[in-house]
Amino acid sequence: MSLNMSLYYVFTHSFNLPEEYACPDFMTKSSRKQPLLGAYFLISGIVFLVLYFLCFLAVLKLNLKIPVYQLMLVLSIFDILSLSVNSVATGIFDIIGISFCQCPHAIFFLGAIGQASWMSGSACSILLAVERCVEINPKFILERLFRKRVFCCVLATIIIYSIWSVICVQPVLFSIEYSSWFFDPLIGNDPDIYLCNPDTVNNWVLLTTITALYFYLSYHLLFKFGYSTSIWLYKTRRQIIFQALMLCVFHGIVCGIYEFMKYVYFSHTLVILSQLLWGWSSGCMCIAYLAFNRTIRNSVLKISIPKSIRERYGLHVGFEEHLAQTEAAHNPAVMNAAGSTVKMNNFIHF
């Protein structure tokens, strides 16, 4: 059923939408707007996108031959696409007052991208959790996935999964009434015909595996490594656990709420909460990168703050710049007869 209600049907039927999405005439106009919610979604989405794009540029500068950096790059792409739908597009539709029936084709395509980004990002999040477990325990049972040749197949599988998700899985559709995205276009048809089994399987797999993996990760860090007086090791453990907790909490709650709403009556407040958390689940990784990953944070600072400004105000980013500024401060200079500066340390060696 999902295939006949997906982009595959649209592409193979002269870009006509399936009959299940035919809107009644009285629903083609909407006078409702939600400017406050729209402003929040739009502003938060733009902030997340700017931060994530800077992190994306920083990841590009890393050694992309390493599997985990490739995974971070792919996850960044899916999260950026997801934020474009669940935050930016949501905000614009709320402010303008557009629902599915006012702009069916555009929302159908955006919903397909948003749904595929969520499913593909879920797969990447699971693999990232596996990689964290391998990092703290090289003998972890799934360590083989991150060997060079095997990981090429893993990456190809993710790409195929993302293409299948966007073309063959039915999309989520925007409703101005709830300021959220649903499989059901809310046009009066039986809701059961819009149930999406691939999404259900994806959510339950994500919820169970990512929770189990991060419980394993936290247990291994807290109890298997034993007590250590090393401040560096303590901070490293704390950062890994915080990253794990951030990713696990947002993704787990979003999965749980959406699966709950598929089968049980839901309130307007719960729907808005789920939409807010969907946006945060897509943007939380860039916050984790900036808060806990010094390499990415320093790279982002170098990209966003010009070197001339950093030198003028003594802002060093990373050890190299700090060392260069320290040497410059202790390197005396004199003026020669021509009026140019001569660094004495270039000629005097102690």
Q: What is the DSSP string of 141-202?
A: TTGGGGSHHHHHHHHHHHHHHHHHHHHHSPPPEEETTTTEEESS--SSS-GGGG--HHHHHH
Band the pLDDT of 345: cuts 50, 70, 90: very low
The pLDDT score that the predictor gives to residue 49 is 96
The pLDDT score that the predictor gives to residue 210 is 86
In the chain, which ranges are continuous DSSP H helix?
7-12, 35-60, 67-83, 90-96, 104-136, 148-168, 197-219, 231-263, 268-292, 294-304, 307-312, 318-329
Query: Which tens digits make up the pLDDT trace of 279-332?
Result: 999 998 889 888 888 888 888 988 888 887 877 766 656 545 544 555 545 554
Query: Which tens digits make up the pLDDT trace of 8-28?
Result: 999 999 999 999 998 888 777
Average pLDDT over the chain, rounded to an integer: 82
Residue 219 has pLDDT above 70, yes or no: yes
What mean pLDDT do residues 80-86 have?
96
- Beta partners for 173? 182
**Secondary structure (3-state) at 320:** helix
Band the pLDDT of 238: cuts 50, 70, 90: low
The pLDDT score that the predictor gives to residue 340 is 43
Looking up tokens 């190809």 gives 156
* Model confidence pTM above 0.75: yes
- Which residues have CB under 8 Å from 246's CB, separation 6+? 284, 287, 288
From CA 151, how far away is CA 273, in angstroms rounded?
36
Stronger pLDDT, 223 or 112, i.e. the higher one: 112
Residue 3 has pLDDT above 90, yes or no: no
Looking up tokens 């059901």 gives 184
From CA 219, how far away is CA 241, in angstroms rounded?
10
Distance from chain centroid for Cα 219: 25
End-to-end C-alpha distance for the chain, whole angstroms: 80
H or E stretch at 334: strand 333-335
From CA 92, how far away is CA 107, in angstroms rounded?
12
Q: Which domains are present in the chain? A: 3-304 (1.20.1070.10), 314-346 (no CATH)
